[in-house]
Structures are given as structure tokens and as C-alpha cells.
Structure 1
């Protein structure tokens, strides 16, 4: 978001997002940065985006002196974005959930309201499917935010368990595509070509994906006024789901994305469309 709205701080937050293929704005589909972009736009907190190529993420976090917020099973750091730097407070925050709690605590009355209104978010993904990245724990969450932290982890798990459907649709920069594929393979713990899925295997995994989102869809059906979990106004839980829908839109074949939008009475398609109001790029 640009500085067209009055800044509560007098300075622009710097938001570090992942650049995939150029132009970065067109191909942005990394879910955790999208959680932050939605939250920044919702809070109407003026910011500027610094686009960081995938292969430069580790060096950028290192230069900002921000350690990885999670680790792989072998203990090595999982270096990813987003990061925000707020000149008003001097704070640099390097985890999407912690960024949301920071924005709510620092700017409680800004924007469209509370990112974390009280609600039950009883969606659990407990199936034993391989995950391609470690999940965020959000250990610092307390009170109402703790409910959102659990929801965040379960939504991340449900989508991550099916990310094999999306991996080969990632829009890598053609100039460094092979290096990006190698980096993604290291993160996933398997060769790039092994992650390709087609035929009957893909059909089965798509069915599993649809079923996995069934419990999530039921939460959206509680308030018939929709399209958000609490009716006509979004909150951070909607942004968590919406961010993964952005990933799905940017990486699934068109016919599969259209199918996903129609699953479970179309709740996810409606949510994606409604969240466009909070998807502005600076």
C-alpha cells in the first residue's frame, strides 16, 4: 500500500516479499507474505514492498539480523519471508503470524478493525500426509490470538500436505529457474522431478485436497451472510485461508483452480473474490 492514507507513524513500513518470476507483482503467490499483505492493507498501515528474489532470502534475513523463525527436522534453519521493518518503533519482525499480532498491538485502532476478534476456529487437520516445509508454531501467541495460531498451523498443514499439486506450477524466474528448483527441492527433501504428479495419482491427491478442506468449508457455512468467517467483515483467519488460495490460484492448472473455487458450495471462490479488496499492491 502506498502512502495515500494518513500514516499513524509518519513513516512507511518496509515489507519484504518473495519475488518469483518478473514482474514480481504479477506472480506473487507465496502464502505467508500474502497473509502479511492482507493484514497491512486491512490495518491501512502505509508500507512499501521490497521484492527479494527467492535465492537471496537467506542473505536478506542475515543482513537484517533476523534468525529463521522455524527449522527443518534436521535442525537446519528454514529461511523464508515475510519480514517487516517499522521505522516508527525500530522493530523488525520476521514471521507472518508475529507480524499480524504486532500490527494489532501497535496499531489497534487503525484500518478496518480488529485482526483477531473472538471466535471459535475449530478446524483440525490431523491426517498423516507428507509436509514440504516446517509449520510455524507462533509460540508467543496468547489469549484470543492463540486460537488463531492453532488455526494457522492447521490450515498451513492442510494446504502444505497437498502442495505437490502446486510445486511444478511455481512461476520461477526463467533466468534462474534451475537454481530455484534445486532450492525448492532441498526444502522439500526430494528431487524436483519426483514432486511432479500426474494421472491417477494427481486425481487421488486432488480428491484428498477437496476432502481436507471440507471441515474448513463448514466453518464458512456457519454465518450465511458470508463470505467471511464472521459474515461481512474479514479478520486474520480469513487472510490465512485467502493467502493459500492465492498460492493455489498462482500455481494450479487453470481447470483445477476453477474446480477448487467451486468446492463445498463455492465458499473458497467467494472468499477469494471478496479478499481482492485487501489485495492492493504498492
Structure 2
């Protein structure tokens, strides 16, 4: 198969039949989607957009501003540990909510690719996706910073505690779980049940993913939108969600832990 044929295959989503909904079920599902994202990542997207607009209105240039993803939440180390774990637990609960609603709708974990049928292949796919997204993503971040279109993103500002690295790993996995279950498994499955075309659903999912990263600047929003297109299409073609969770977790672990351990050692990691 040539590269062109591979591209055409992935650009054209697979057709998957779903049971039609009656008008009442359609209204309920639309309402459910709006409510879920109004209290989770959709709300995060609105806040992120407001943060970007505020930054653009500031006299300080965008590339001179710094934003941190993980930072201390309390002055006392034990209180900070508890707050960090509570924050990660909230993200796990968001993902669990999406999975629970899928089960209530008659679509269990297997329907969205969260079963254990192929752990080896899923793990290999996760590593491949992480490399596919991570290497170009770093280049896009550096380019957007150089052009003044992005803030300086500091993945971690946590202090040096015995629990710092484990907490960062937990945070990375919680972020990956919440985002992939909600923005890919739950949202794309729901839009498919509503009869939304695969390409339009993919665009909605990707724009949502990009929106709640806008606090990082235009580069952060664009980079995550592109990641959403790749991840969403992968799920539409394969029906497997674990590789996306795994790839996202790998990317965040490298970013969070690497930032904590190598801060100031590399030119693109601020001191």
C-alpha cells in the first residue's frame, strides 16, 4: 500500500452502524452532552479562552508570560500532597462519569475500546502515537514561542518533596484518562448515536480539545487541536481507546517529570 493509499484510508472514516434514536432520546442525549461538558472540559475551554483574551489585553507580550500546569496548591507539604491527589481524583471522576453514562446507554467499556482484549498491541500503539504527537508537538511549541504566539509553559512547579514524582505521574495519568474518555470515547460515541457525520464529530472533538489549552497561547491551542484530529480519527478507525489514554499519559509523564527533574538544564525548560 502506498503512502497516498494509507492517507486516503485514514482520511476516510470507517462506517459504523448505530441504533437510531427516537426524538425524545435524541433530546435527552443532546442535553446530557451539553450538561456534562458544561461542568467538565467545556467549562475549562471557556475559562481558557478568557485567560487568553486577558493575556492579549495585557501590556506584557504573550511570549513573555509563563503558565504552569502543575503547581503547589498549599503551603504545607502534607496539605499540598492532599490537594494534589484531590485534584487528580476529580479528573478520574470526570472520566468515570463519561464511562458510567456510556454504560447506562448500553455501551460498555468494550464499545469504546477500554477492554483488555489486546494489551500488547494497545501498548505498542500508545508508544507510536506518543512519538507521532510528541516530537512534532515540541517543534510547534518552540516555533510558536519564537513567533510570540505562545506563553512559556512550565509543566511542573511543584517543590522538591519525596512525593513530587509519584504525584506528577498520577496527575499525568488522571489528565489522560479524563480527556480521552470524555473528548474521544464519550463525545464521539454520543455524536455517532445522534447521527452526526464522522468528520464533523471529529472536528467538534478536536476543537474542544484545543479550546481548553488556549491558556497556553495559540500554539498550545493549535497543537492540541491537531492532536485531537489524530487521536479522534484513530479511535474512529480502530475503536480502541486504551492506546490514546496510554499515549497521552506517556506525553504528560515525560513533560511533567522531565520539567521537574531537568528544570533549567535545557534551553526550552525555564529555570
> TM-score scaled to structure 1, two decimals?
0.28
Higher helix share goes to which structure?
2
> TM-score scaled to structure 2, two decimals?
0.29
Higher-Rg member (1/2): 2
Taking CA–CA contacts closer than 8 Å with sequence separation of 6 or more, which of the two structures ends up with the larger relative contact order?
2
